[in-house]
Structure 1
Amino acid sequence: MRQFQLVLLSWLLGCAFVTAQNKQILYDFTEIPQALMINPGMSTDFQWYAGIPALSGISFQAGSSGLTVNDLFADDGVDFNVKVRERAIYGMSTRDELNGTYQVELLNGGFRGRNRDNFYSFGIYNEGDAIGYWFKDYAILAFEGNADQLGRKFDVGHLKTRGEMLNVFHFGINKRVDGALTIGARAKVYSSVFNFSSTKNKGYFVTNQGQNNILSHTFVADMELRSSGLNEIEDALDNDSSLLPGIITRRMFFGGDLGFGIDLGFTYKLNKQTVITGSLLDLGFVYSSTDVKNYTIKGNATVEGIEVILPDAFSNSNDDFWQNLVDEVDALVPHGTNNNSYISFRPTKLYGSIRHNWGKTFKQNMDCDCNYMVSKRRDYTKYANGIGGQLYVINRPRGPQAALTAFYLRRFGRALALKTTYTVDKFSWSNIGLGLNLQAGPVNIYVMADNLLAYRNLADSHYSSFQLGLNIISWGKK
């Protein structure tokens, strides 16, 4: 039970300090080095860049598709119990979720190769991801009980949740193939701090008319909660919490479970002013084999409660009817723990976009050999305006989750660029975002915020996010 409490606590903390999976403002914002992290095939003109450690890339987000704080606690004259029943218990479906991720860069840098076609990037970032779906039948059973629900099968498969914290070590190559095409790939090594998941539960609980007693209760289940990395954390919390920072740090740097993944991306110019891009991120896994503890319930049982035979029951005062019932259920439903290793796949993400550019042009920043540029038919021209659309898809326990974004990009010379977005997804149909990139000499600063209309009343918001970063960029000597 203590282990389950740790999983629940870490999930809640993860959802309280989380970052946007969909970084639609940052995507293809080519002035910002961190945009390479969501498309390794982005068109770049940097000679080299260096992120300020722990400040080069920070992003946070929180999202709830079903219920907001305001839905329950607004002073609207509706009784709180009515709100809980109508808006939460019966108002949400099993596809409603609370989810998010946080990401903090510890190290990030990149440099151009000698042949100038290749750009290399590398770094380390810490990431956490958590998601939980609304367990509707559990909530109904807890709120109303089963007295008036005879014959109804409560689906135990409504419980679906997963979460993790890990460090990611990465190295990427970005290559200009010709004047139209740029491709990229990134290799990743994952160092897991902890992981938990319970996503493939099946079974039901049902109450029917009994034979020996008034009611009979049947429980059929095939359930599992898998976890790694939580036992040592639990022991530290119980015995010596001062050990916790050391445990987490050790696991962040190859002292825990390891995994491997790749990112792929491209940019293709249909013509001088129209560009399409795409990327596939975190196609990878983590193999959990150390500090593993899994909880299982698999089997079925039918119990008719406490059977009391009168007057014989009074002749044996040592009978503990309640304990007998508990022992009977415990024996009928096989449950236990194991330390079996398992593989957990990362939440893979897909991006795609099309952009049309127009207006005033700005030549490339990077140092160039003009003869080389002409012979290769390179075109690094940037336009003052860009407009287009983006698609985002992420793999989730209940299937793919998508978002569509329309955007407008405006450049004011080389010093300032703005990108505004309008995104439609399961969290909001009115998500307006704004990103600002400022280039002050070699110093690059960017700030981005999402769902700006929700800032009028954060308690009534289904979604909010924030990103910022600080880099040093060089384009070489002119």
Structure 2
Amino acid sequence: MRFQKTFLATILLVCGYMHGQNKQLLYDFGEVPQSLMVNPGTKVDFKWYAGIPMLSGISLQVGSSGISANDIFADDGLDINDKVRDRAIGGMKIEDELSGTYQLELLSGGFQGRNPNNFYSFGIYNEGDAIGYWFKDYAILAFEGNADYLDKRFDLSHLKTRGEMMNVFHFGVNKRMGNGLVLGLRGKLYSSILDFNSTGNRGYFVTTEGQNNLLASTLNADMQLRTSGLSALDEAKDDGNLASTIIKRGFFGGNLGVGVDLGFSYNINEQLVVTGSLLDLGFIYHANDVKSYSLNGNATIEGIEIILPSALSDSNRDFWQDFVDEVDALVPFEDDSESYVAFRPTKLYASLRYNFGKPVRSRQDCDCNYSVSSNKGSLKYANGVGGQIYMINRPRGPQTALTAFYHRRFGDVMAVKATYTVDKFSLTNVGLGVSMQAGPVNLYLMADNLLAYQNLAASQYTSFQLGLNIISWGKN
């Protein structure tokens, strides 16, 4: 019981603090240093930058693809039980999800190397990610029972969930290769704080007509829940050391893993740019504080069988315990501490951008004339328009989003990016990102799904990002 409470609390904690990590506003937004985190091959023109600790990169994304709070709790005169049955249990599909991500930069910075074509970036950030798909057959069984569902197989594979919290230590190299090509590589070290996943479940539960009793119930199960870090956090909570335990596990006191980010930007010509990145291609090896729980086997039970009058001769027999022992022998519930490997949710970005309008003067340390250049892609233009694609690996297969965007520069002071995104959460997702420069101080603010702010309770997706940096371009 203690584990179940801890597991539930952890899911609520991770989801409550935190959609699917699509940062379409930040991607290819070169005025913001954090754009290197979604494409290490982004073109940068500053000498160095330093993020303000705990303020340089904050992002929060929460999404529900099947239902909103307003669908259940709106004061519309309908009975809440009817709304739960019709809109949630009957209206949602197993592909629908509740997911969330948060990210908080603890340290970030970057600098130009001795070779001005090389730029190095580094930092530490804390990240949490969780996703749970709608367990439709479980909900039907819990809400309505099995009395009216004779011979229906309740599918146990409907339970799919995973979540994690970790610190990520990273170092990246961004290199201009010439002729408009920029390549990027970022190495990552993951220090896991907690992890849980239950994604490969199989089996069914079915009720049929019995032979010895009226009904017979059959359970065929191959289910597993793997966790790491939850026991340590549960004990720390009881001892009042939760914060220190989270910090310890986040700084190499938990489970470790490695990963890489890859990216590029390439000017097909002076005005047409193609970009792409592959993020979090890596894994974490969980061997510390691991607890796994499994239910594996097959059993058909017709309830407690009492054969009269012979049963009356044994007054001390516990028929209920006999029933429990029989079920446990046929479908054993077991736990172990075996290590396991968890792969990161890998993300893919790609974009095509067409630049036009008046060229904007570069702030790089050079004496070059911005209107004349022999290096393809060296000019910046006031306007840019294009499209982006985003994909993330999820337990029920790849999840995709398509984005159209418009990018506008206002000299050296401000840049704006407007987006329209279509994904499983919304067909009307309009977003806006603003980067403002006051001397060396850079402030950026970004928010998605702006049309939903008219009624947040009816929204199925919300996202925002903000940060504060110090940027230097050197002397012009």
Instruction: Place the TM-score, normalised by the shorter chain, in its bin.
Output: over 0.9
The whole-number CA distance in structure 1 between the counterparts of 2:375 and 2:79 is 69
The residue number in structure 1 matching 2:337 is 339
Selected match of 1:388 from 386, 389, 398:
386
- Structure 1, 18-27 or 455-464: larger mean CA deviation: 18-27
Deviations 1:319-367 (A, max 9, x none): 3322222221122212211111000000000000011111121121110
Which structure 1 residue ranges, 5 or more long, are not aligned? Answer: none
The whole-number CA distance in structure 1 between the counterparts of 2:27 and 2:105 is 17
Deviations 1:58-77 (A, max 9, x none): 01111000111000011112
* Alpha-carbon offset, residue 394 of structure 1: 0.2
Residue identity opposite 2:145 in structure 1? G
Spell out the pairing of 1:46-65 with structure 2 (5 A cutoff). Answer: 46-65=46-65
1:128 aligns with 2:144: no
The residue number in structure 1 matching 2:363 is 365
1:304 aligns with 2:298: no
* Alpha-carbon offset, residue 152 of structure 1: 1.0
The whole-number CA distance in structure 2 between the counterparts of 1:453 and 1:6 is 37
* Alpha-carbon offset, residue 175 of structure 1: 0.4
The residue number in structure 1 matching 2:41 is 41
1:26 aligns with 2:26: yes
- Structure 1, 16-25 or 263-272: larger mean CA deviation: 16-25
Cα contact 1:167–1:190 (8 A) shared by 2: yes
The residue number in structure 2 matching 1:404 is 402
Cα contact 2:65–2:98 (8 A) shared by 1: yes
* Alpha-carbon offset, residue 147 of structure 1: 1.2
Residue identity opposite 1:396 in structure 2? R
The whole-number CA distance in structure 2 between the counterparts of 1:283 and 1:4 is 31
Cα contact 1:50–1:473 (8 A) shared by 2: yes
* Alpha-carbon offset, residue 397 of structure 1: 0.3
The residue number in structure 2 matching 1:225 is 225
The whole-number CA distance in structure 1 between the counterparts of 2:325 and 2:143 is 26
The residue number in structure 1 matching 2:118 is 118
Spell out the pairing of 1:153-192 with structure 2 (5 A cutoff). Answer: 153-192=153-192
The whole-number CA distance in structure 1 between the counterparts of 2:216 and 2:261 is 53
Residue identity opposite 2:138 in structure 1? Y
1:14 aligns with 2:11: no
The whole-number CA distance in structure 2 between the counterparts of 1:53 and 1:235 is 30
- Structure 1, 265-274 or 327-336: larger mean CA deviation: 327-336
The whole-number CA distance in structure 2 between the counterparts of 1:77 and 1:370 is 69
The whole-number CA distance in structure 2 between the counterparts of 1:436 and 1:22 is 17
The residue number in structure 1 matching 2:141 is 141
* Alpha-carbon offset, residue 42 of structure 1: 0.4
Deviations 1:119-161 (A, max 9, x none): 0000000000100000011001111111121111111111100
Cα contact 1:181–1:267 (8 A) shared by 2: yes
The residue number in structure 1 matching 2:273 is 275
* Alpha-carbon offset, residue 370 of structure 1: 4.2
Residue identity opposite 1:41 in structure 2? G
- Structure 1, 314-323 or 221-230: larger mean CA deviation: 314-323
The residue number in structure 1 matching 2:438 is 440
Cα contact 1:118–1:174 (8 A) shared by 2: yes
Residue identity opposite 2:134 in structure 1? W
The whole-number CA distance in structure 2 between the counterparts of 1:374 and 1:72 is 61
Cα contact 1:156–1:205 (8 A) shared by 2: yes
* Alpha-carbon offset, residue 376 of structure 1: 6.7
Deviations 1:61-113 (A, max 9, x none): 11000111000011112211111111011110110000011000000000001
* Alpha-carbon offset, residue 278 of structure 1: 0.3
The whole-number CA distance in structure 2 between the counterparts of 1:292 and 1:143 is 33
The residue number in structure 2 matching 1:291 is 289
The residue number in structure 2 matching 1:351 is 349
- Structure 1, 319-328 or 255-264: larger mean CA deviation: 319-328
Give the TM-score taking structure 2 as reference length.
Answer: 0.97
Report sequence identity in percent.
66
Cα contact 2:19–2:64 (8 A) shared by 1: no
Residue identity opposite 2:38 in structure 1? I
How many residues are paired up?
Answer: 475
State the secondary structure of the residue aligned to 1:293. Answer: strand
* Alpha-carbon offset, residue 245 of structure 1: 1.3
The residue number in structure 2 matching 1:103 is 103
Give the TM-score taking structure 1 as reference length.
Answer: 0.97
The residue number in structure 1 matching 2:464 is 466
Residue identity opposite 1:320 in structure 2? D
Q: Please give the root-mean-square deviation of Cα atoms over the aligned residues, in Å.
A: 1.5
Cα contact 2:290–2:338 (8 A) shared by 1: yes
Cα contact 1:106–1:125 (8 A) shared by 2: yes
| Alpha-carbon spacing, 1:370–1:359, altered in 2? closer, same or farther (3 Å) | closer
Q: Runs of at least 4 residues of structure 1 off by over 6 A?
A: 373-376
Cα contact 2:224–2:292 (8 A) shared by 1: yes
Residue identity opposite 2:210 in structure 1? G
The whole-number CA distance in structure 2 between the counterparts of 1:170 and 1:250 is 18
The whole-number CA distance in structure 2 between the counterparts of 1:146 and 1:412 is 64
